[in-house]
Amino acid sequence: MEQNEYKQIYGFVIDSLKKNYSAPTVSLWFEPMKIVKLNNSSITVSLPQNRKAFVEAQYYQQLKQTFAEVLGTEVELVLVSEEEEAEMISETQNENVSGIKSEYKMRYNPEYTFKNFVVGKSNQLAQAVSLAVANHPAELNNPLFLYGNSGLGKTHLLFAIINHIRENHPDYKILYVTGEEFTNELIESLAQKKPMTFREKYRNLDVLLIDDIQFIAGKMSVQEEFFHTFDTLFKLNKQIILASDRAPSLINNLEERLHSRFMMGMIADIQPPDKELRMAIFRRKAIDYGVDLKMDVLLYLAENITTNIRQIEGSLKKLKAHTLITGEECTLPVAKAVLSDFFATAKNDETIVDRIFESASKRYGVTKEDIKSTKRNAEIAMARHYSMFLIRQTTNLSLNSIAKLFNKKDHSTVINSIGFIERKMKAEPAFEREIEQTVQELKN
Ligand code: ADP
Ligand code: MG
């Protein structure tokens, strides 16, 4: 098996670990590891020497279990240090093909193109205007604003535009960042008192793409800087492309002048795909992933993955890993056995979240919309703490996914809310009993 496949599988393990461990734990202990060998009975993972003893003592069981879940079969887990790994692979040393920095590699994702973007009713307009911009940057449709729910192909289209422009204009300066990266970079440049370096970088471009631009809403200095970046590029007749998880008018706490600039060029939304389009997309993805999908398996996937196309990637990885390891063919029964937990968990979480919102609105006399809003009155805030705590206790959702349910940008609010409820439980035994009882009810 190839390094790339190992990486894919390990990536999936990381995703899964993120649900149970905090981001710092994952990046400190798990991300430095990699799979070096995999066969149907054992998996060998390497990690830095100085981390090995601790991981073995602290995380071995959980790690093994996560591998079993991802691979859909029990395997022996062997941890080796990087030195030991070097000895193991001394014969075949053809890794590290290029000297490209990993950050750059990730940014330049040649796999997302117009060619492998499947078009249907729900994404037709977004695809067409993206292609038009790719063919004629800064001539029509400036800025281009794409929006739609998570996992519907916005980032794919942004990369398709980049790849297309790169081909026609190899000399163009193109920059892709997320709203979060833009924010962090700006803050860092201010802290280091180097705002000019930041400005030089962002105002000296032919094409600027900012993904998940909604992230900058509510942050005054970031919106201010972005406004000037936007105006400078726009006046120089440079192409600006933005993607967001919602329409400009629905982005809370967005400055009016930014709102009006977002609306100035071309706006296109992406809606969830119908079943026919889902099947076409999944068929295409299966080819990319080298998985042979029979019609009945394809149908099964299309029935179970409905709102977030990204889930197809996880599903295919799981199927691929399973077939590679066991040598079994990917028939419908095999696919069901491998994926049913994966789908069931997702569905189950959705139902529980609904029930929690219902319980919170009754208990605190507020609406579900209030809970998800940014309003701050006492009842609403309590209902929010209560809901976040219960969701964390009873579902597999990561802190970040929970934050998203409440339209929060990162997990810190969730952590604060959980802390709040924990303290209240300690202080008030009656409240503690009530919460514990609710958790039990929700779990059944
Ligand atoms: P978003 O940025 O909207 O959250 P992404 O662009 O990351 O979504 O897409 C999620 C996954 O779904 C990616 O693997 C992407 O390639 C795939 N995808 C979504 N729509 C399509 C499509 N129409 N054709 C092919 N792949 C698609
Ligand atoms: Mg995206």
pLDDT in tens, 314-352: 899 889 888 888 888 999 999 998 888 778 777 788 889
pTM: 0.67
Q: Is 297 exposed, middle or buried (0-12, 13-18, 19+ CB in 10 A)?
A: buried
Class of domain 346-443: mainly alpha
Q: Whose CA is nearest to atom 17 of ligand 1?
A: 153
Between CA 397 and CA 399 the distance in angstroms is: 7
Between CA 236 and CA 101 the distance in angstroms is: 30
Task: Please report the beta strands in 249-394, taking only residues with DSSP state E, as ranges in sequence order.
Answer: 266-270
Position 91 pLDDT exceeds 60: no
Of 55, 103, 61, the C-alpha closest to 82 is 55
Say how many CA atoms lie within 13 Å of 416 toward its Cβ.
9
Q: What is the DSSP letter of 290?
A: T
Ligand 1 pocket check: which of 152, 306, 311 to mutate, most ligand atoms within 8 Å of Cβ? Answer: 152
Spacing, Cα 245 to ligand 2 middle (Å): 8
Q: Which residues line ligand 1 (CB under 6 A)?
A: 112, 116-118, 123, 148, 150-156, 281, 284, 309-310, 313
Cis peptide before 273 (omega within 30 of 0): no
pLDDT at 403: 87
Between CA 137 and CA 165 the distance in angstroms is: 8
The one-letter code for the residue type at 212 is D
Spacing, Cα 158 to ligand 1 middle (Å): 10
Atom of ligand 1 nearest to the CA of 212: 2
Tell the CATH superfamily of the 3-103 domain.
DnaA, N-terminal domain (3.30.300.180)
Between CA 381 and CA 378 the distance in angstroms is: 5
Contact 121, 274 (CB under 8 A): yes
pLDDT at 106: 38
Of 395, 348, 314, the C-alpha closest to 72 is 314
The mean-pLDDT minimum among 107-121, 193-207, 274-288 falls in 107-121
Q: Whose CA is nearest to atom 5 of ligand 1?
A: 153
Q: Whose CA is nearest to atom 26 of ligand 1?
A: 117
pLDDT at 269: 97
Of 259, 304, 296, 246, the C-alpha closest to 278 is 304
325 — phi, psi (to 5°)? Answer: -75, -40
Q: Degrees (nearest 5) of the Cα angle 103, 105, 109?
A: 120
Q: How confident is the model at residue 100 (pLDDT cuts 50, 70, 90)?
A: very low
Spacing, Cα 150 to ligand 2 middle (Å): 7
Looking at all shown ligands, the one closest to residue 111's CA atom is 1
Spacing, Cα 293 to ligand 2 middle (Å): 26
Other beta carbons within 10 Å of 429: 9
Q: Measure CA of the first residue to CA of the last residue in the chain; give whole Å.
A: 42
The one-letter code for the residue type at 323 is T
pLDDT at 311: 87
Q: Is 84 exposed, middle or buried (0-12, 13-18, 19+ CB in 10 A)?
A: middle
Identify the H or E element spanning 210: strand 207-211
Spacing, Cα 174 to ligand 2 middle (Å): 18
Contact 329, 408 (CB under 8 A): no
Helix (H, G, I), strand (E, B) or coil at 170: coil
Contact 301, 315 (CB under 8 A): yes
Please tell us whether the domain made up of 124-269 is placed in CATH 3.40.50.300: yes
Q: Which two tokens stand for residue 230?
A: 């936007």
Cis peptide before 170 (omega within 30 of 0): no
Position 97 pLDDT exceeds 90: no
Interval 391-404 mean pLDDT: 84
Q: How many residues would you count in the chain?
A: 444
Atom of ligand 1 nearest to the CA of 120: 23
Q: Which two tokens stand for residue 369?
A: 């919309």
Contact 439, 393 (CB under 8 A): yes
Q: How confident is the model at residue 2 (pLDDT cuts 50, 70, 90)?
A: low
Ligand 1 pocket check: which of 150, 154, 156 to mutate, most ligand atoms within 8 Å of Cβ? Answer: 156
Looking at all shown ligands, the one closest to residue 176's CA atom is 2
pLDDT digits (tens, 9 = 90+) for 398-411: 787 888 889 887 77
Contact 335, 296 (CB under 8 A): no
Q: Which two tokens stand for residue 33?
A: 């590891």
pLDDT at 21: 87
Mean pLDDT over each residue of the chain, to the nearest integer? 87
pLDDT digits (tens, 9 = 90+) for 237-247: 999 999 999 99
Other beta carbons within 10 Å of 252: 11
Q: What is the DSSP letter of 28?
A: I
Q: Whose CA is nearest to atom 6 of ligand 1?
A: 153
Rg (CA), the chain: 24
pLDDT at 88: 66
Other beta carbons within 10 Å of 286: 22
pLDDT digits (tens, 9 = 90+) for 120-142: 999 999 999 999 999 999 998 99
Q: Degrees (nearest 5) of the Cα angle 80, 84, 85?
A: 80
Atom of ligand 1 nearest to the CA of 158: 6
Spacing, Cα 252 to ligand 1 middle (Å): 25
pLDDT digits (tens, 9 = 90+) for 238-286: 999 999 999 999 998 899 999 999 999 999 999 999 999 999 999 999 9
Looking at all shown ligands, the one closest to residue 180's CA atom is 2
Interval 72-76 mean pLDDT: 75
pLDDT at 43: 86
Between CA 107 and CA 75 the distance in angstroms is: 34
Q: What is the DSSP letter of 95?
A: -
Q: Which two tokens stand for residue 442?
A: 């929700």
Q: Which two tokens stand for residue 235?
A: 């006046």
**Conformational region of residue 260, where left means phi above 0, alpha means psi within -120 to 50, and beta covers everything else:** alpha
